[in-house]
A = this chain, B = another copy of it.
Amino acid sequence: MSAEPPRYRRLADELVRLIHAGALRPGDRLPSVRQTQASRGCSAATVFQAYHRLESLGLVRAAERSGYFVAPVAAPSAVRLQEPQPVAVSELVFQLLGTGGHAVHAALGSAFPSPTLFPFDKLRSALSAGSRQLDPAELTQQLPGGHEGLRRQIALRYLRLGMSITPDEIVLTDGALEGLNLSLQLLTRPGDAVLVEAPCFYAALQALERLGLRAVEVPADPAEGADLGAMAELIERHSPKACWLMTSFQNPLGSLMPPDKKRALVELLGAQGIPLIEDDVYAELQHQGTPPLPAKAFSTRGEVLHAGSFAKTLAPGYRVGWVAAGRFAPALRRAKLSQSLSGSWPAQAAIAHYLEGVDYERHLRALRRALAAQQRALRSAVLAHFPPGTRVTPPQGGYFLWVELPPGHDSLALQSAALLEGISLAPGPLFSASGGFRNCLRLNSGQPWTPALAAAVARLGELIRSQTI
């Protein structure tokens, strides 16, 4: 896929290694741009690009007029490799997802983008048009795998990315979530170990718990996702039977694995015969450019089950998702039939009809612009109001910000205090099988930016500053 990395990237990677090795420590000032330009014999632009990358990785911070400094070490970099955890988070997750009966006016803890961002009128027309085209016999003939026209449309979207996926490889599911759950059930037996990220999407932890599986937590970096070195070590130690992770705009980190890392991930898992369940529901919500390729694009042996959804991009509530399940497609098709027969026909037909038209790309462009602008606004407000030492990565897609408060702050206590004032947030321990990330929280940038939201962020900042640590 790629030739030698560009100059700035090699420079950045070298500095990353120095920071990780402790040669550069928190608070250290980096050489100035001019110094580096001279010492490396490269352009100022190259150095700026490299430093900007380090900043986006959360490893350095720019201080106005005084240069770049190595950032304080925060939770993720300090995660130790955990023993596999039997998972018992579901109760906690449901508690943390709830609002304790408080009316919430600032839903910064929400997992959903604002419904105002979606084309409900166009979808309503598509519902009618889709159901006018109904041949009732389809209802039973198209059961295995789901609506054929929709599977074809999804295959065409893969083709735009240069990926050859046949409609037969695609199994339509009730949102990606059902597909992910069924995939995990298919690949494991109770007691098995499964690789997940730390932090990771809580529904993965709940799935593990319901199936009696053990979580092997792979530390993940807010910029580039799961640490493959750590993963290799954990595979050696625990012989996991599957790996469930998000390679693009991960929930909650927003991390994006670069293409080379995705390829390396597929190779690492493939060499051990470990299937990859790739949860890729934010893939089309990149803020700029074209959607990133999934890890599945680098798979040659059908060992990646790639799950997507229209719930985040087009039609929340329709519950239409899919898995392109590689060599597991026949088994997954059967699992879906046994679990719930098929997806809901009107929703599938409506989305198929909508995708046959020309509106989707226009809608996606507008949605991406809105998400990017909202993220900038929320991030600026957080940086302005939260205490010094707070770290907020700027994800390149999706609608979550992962906020690391200085060590000692407690997002659970913060959640309780905030809910009393009608502000929700998603505390860090929601995303961990081992109760980690206590000083972290996930904020939702999927809502139009309003003075009320700005006030809520300012108030959160006050609540954080008032915590005794």
Contacts and interface: CB of A to CB of B under 8 A. Distances in A.
Interface of A: 90, 94, 110, 112, 115-116, 118, 120, 123-124, 127-128, 131-132, 134, 136-140, 173-175, 177-178, 181, 185, 189-190, 203, 206-207, 210, 212, 316-320, 334-335, 337-347, 350
Given A140-B115, A175-B340, A340-B175, A346 B127 contact: yes
Contacts of A131: 120, 123-124, 127
B127 A316 contact: no
Contacts of A189: 212
Given A116-B136, A128-B128, A344 B319 contact: yes
A178 B182 CA distance: 12
5 contacts: A115-B137, A140-B316, A178-B339, A189-B212, A317-B342
Given A127-B131, A139-B115, A140-B115, A174 B120 contact: no
Interface centre among A115, A341, A342 (most CB of B within 10 A): A341
Given A127-B127, A206-B338, A338-B90, A140 B110 contact: yes
A207 B338 contact: yes
B343 A319 contact: yes
A174 B340 contact: yes
A345 B320 CA distance: 10
A207 B341 CA distance: 12
Nearest to A189: B212
Copies of this protein, total = 2
Quick one: which of A177, A319, A342 has the most chain B CB within 10 A?
Answer: A319
A153 B139 CA distance: 25
A320 B134 CA distance: 18
Given A124-B131, A140-B317, A185-B210, 11 more contacts: A112-B140, A116-B136, A127-B131, A138-B317, A139-B317, A177-B340, A178-B339, A189-B212, A210-B339, A318-B345, A319-B343
Contact of A128 (B115, B127, B177): B127
A344 B132 contact: no
B340 A203 contact: no
Given A139-B115, A346-B350, A339 B177 contact: yes
A174 B344 contact: yes
Nearest to A173: B340
Contacts of A116: 136
Given A174-B174, A210-B185, A210-B338, A344 B316 contact: no
A136 B118 contact: yes
Contacts of A210: 185, 335, 338-339
A137 B318 CA distance: 14
A110 to B, nearest CB: 7
Nearest to A93: B338
A210 B184 CA distance: 12
Contacts of A178: 174, 339-340
A103 to B, nearest CB: 12
A331 B134 CA distance: 37
A139 B137 CA distance: 30
Nearest to A138: B317
